Amino acid sequence: MNDPGQFFFVACQGGSENVCKSQMQSARPDARLAFSRPGFLTYKVESPNPLPEDLQLKNAFVRTAGVCLQRVDGKSIDELASSFWEAVKDQRWRQLHVWSRLPELAGGKPGSGSSRGPAVEPALAALTGNRPPEIAAVSINGVAAPGERVLNCILVDDGQWWVGVHRAAATPTRWPGGVPPFQPPEQMISRAYLKMREALAWSQMPIASGDICFEIGSSPGGAAQALLEAGLQVIGVDPAEMDERVMQHESFSHIRKRGRDVKRRDFAAAKWLVVDSNVAPEQTLDTVRDIVTHDSVRIRGMLLTLKFPKWSAAGALDDYLARIREWGFQHVKPRQLAYNRQEVCVAAFKNRSMRRFAGGQRKKH
């Protein structure tokens, strides 16, 4: 008898499918691409062992992942919702995450994908309206606690949802669809505010109030807004103007220069370095190398945005990470954040105690 195999799903940003697939070839050479749509890929694995529900895929372009349970089809959203509840009636779970393969992000603009996934709100209403009475009190789309078993209702197309499951571990696996549930503040200076909040939450950079953080490429100031909110003293480096609201903050100062024109010893008091300049990754890394390898500098952790003018440049990602390690940052991890565009965020820390992002939360059974 043919073994039907097991399937897992992967969510990635619309537009990143090819780079995600090519990274998957090295992360899981045993897995074969099966059904896929923009932002949603499934893989088949033939193995006698059950797939673990906390799939830890070494792939920077995976936003979240889990084991496929089944597909449900329906002609109406109510039919889909009823089929979903029927499909999961024997499952034990603590959280339900309902998300679209191409999510709408708070603060506007999703990734570069052209198509749109189904909207979440009508699905939520149908799932709530059709749910069995015994789970009437269950909340949907909450942040899962580490170790919780999460059911995923993935809105793949208007007539088709997928049911999956994963075990929450590292921070993004606790968010519905791997997208942080942040709301923009009333006066958001730029979308980089949300990107920085996500980078801080994902990397768990152990910042303390009053720490000094340099940000290269700081204009107009969304990321600085998030860093200031987190209690840091921020020194923004950018030849362009900063937003007045950031300039007026008592913990912010601006060096109106390019990164490489700032004297290396001016970075001496900094503990953290953030870079988000719109230049090629090589140029970002050259600037960072000159700073962090200088004798007077004691940077302990960095959040670097590496921008890829073309996706083909992402093939060099491993080389970029190797370069960063050579400067004494032993714990380096990349992720295409939900709020990243054609770019990835790299978190790099010097000490092991800082490395909390690699599924650092212990698993509960």
Ligand X SMILES: C[S@@+](CC[C@H](N)C(=O)[O-])C[C@H]1O[C@@H](n2cnc3c(N)ncnc32)[C@H](O)[C@@H]1O
Q: Please tell me whether residue 221 binds ligand X under the rule CB under 6 A.
A: yes
- Are 328 and 291 in contact by the 8 Å Cβ rule? The answer is no
Buried residues in 252-274 as b, exposed as e (16+ CB within 10 A): bebbeeebeebeeebbeebbbbb
Q: Please tell me whether residue 238 binds ligand X under the rule CB under 6 A.
A: yes
Distance, in Å, from the CA atom of 5 to the CA atom of 46, rounded to the nearest integer, reads: 5
161 or 214: whose CB is closer to ligand X?
214
Distance, in Å, from the CA atom of 329 to the CA atom of 348, rounded to the nearest integer, reads: 6
For ligand X, how many residues bind (rule: CB under 6 A)? 21
Interface stretch with ligand X, choices 5-13, 115-123, 129-137, 272-280 (CB under 6 A): 272-280
Q: Mention every residue, 6+ apart, whose C-beta is less than 8 A from residue 63.
A: 11, 12, 13, 172, 177, 178, 179, 336, 338
Distance, in Å, from the CA atom of 203 to the CA atom of 346, rounded to the nearest integer, reads: 9
Does residue 155 sit in helix, strand or coil? strand
Is the CA virtual torsion 309, 310, 316, 318 positive or negative? positive
Interface stretch with ligand X, choices 127-135, 211-219, 316-324, 348-356 (CB under 6 A): 211-219
| Beta-ladder partners of 162 | 71, 154
Q: What's the number of CA atoms in the CB half-sphere (13 Å) around residue 122?
A: 12
Q: Which member of 164, 172, 222, 281 binds ligand X (CB under 6 A)?
A: 222
45 or 105: whose CB is closer to ligand X?
105
Distance, in Å, from the CA atom of 91 to the CA atom of 89, rounded to the nearest integer, reads: 6
To ligand X, the closest distance from the beta carbon of 238 in angstroms equals 4
Interface stretch with ligand X, choices 12-20, 66-74, 271-279, 326-334 (CB under 6 A): 271-279
Interface stretch with ligand X, choices 124-132, 139-147, 216-224, 345-353 (CB under 6 A): 216-224
Q: Which member of 62, 150, 151, 192 binds ligand X (CB under 6 A)?
A: 192
Q: Please tell me whether residue 65 binds ligand X under the rule CB under 6 A.
A: no
Interface stretch with ligand X, choices 4-12, 220-228, 291-299, 357-365 (CB under 6 A): 220-228
Give me the residue label for tokens 């997928």: 162
Q: Scanning residues 240 to 259, which ones bind ligand X (CB under 6 A)? A: 240, 258-259
Structure tokens given for 76: 């109406």
To ligand X, the closest distance from the beta carbon of 286 in angstroms equals 10
Q: Which member of 16, 233, 277, 340 binds ligand X (CB under 6 A)?
A: 277
Q: Please tell me whether residue 358 binds ligand X under the rule CB under 6 A.
A: no
- Are 156 and 11 in contact by the 8 Å Cβ rule? The answer is no
Helix (H) or strand (E) holding 22: helix 17-27
To ligand X, the closest distance from the beta carbon of 289 in angstroms equals 14
Closest CA to 94 of 45, 152, 14, 54: 152
28 or 257: whose CB is closer to ligand X?
257
To ligand X, the closest distance from the beta carbon of 63 in angstroms equals 21
Q: Which member of 278, 293, 296, 312 binds ligand X (CB under 6 A)?
A: 278
Q: Which member of 17, 54, 211, 276 binds ligand X (CB under 6 A)?
A: 276
224 or 324: whose CB is closer to ligand X?
224
Does residue 124 sit in helix, strand or coil? helix
Q: Please tell me whether residue 41 binds ligand X under the rule CB under 6 A.
A: no
To ligand X, the closest distance from the beta carbon of 350 in angstroms equals 23
Interface stretch with ligand X, choices 11-19, 91-99, 176-184, 234-242 (CB under 6 A): 234-242
Distance, in Å, from the CA atom of 200 to the CA atom of 172, rounded to the nearest integer, reads: 11
11 or 196: whose CB is closer to ligand X?
196
**Residues at the interface with ligand X (CB under 6 A):** 190, 192, 216-224, 237-240, 258-259, 276-279
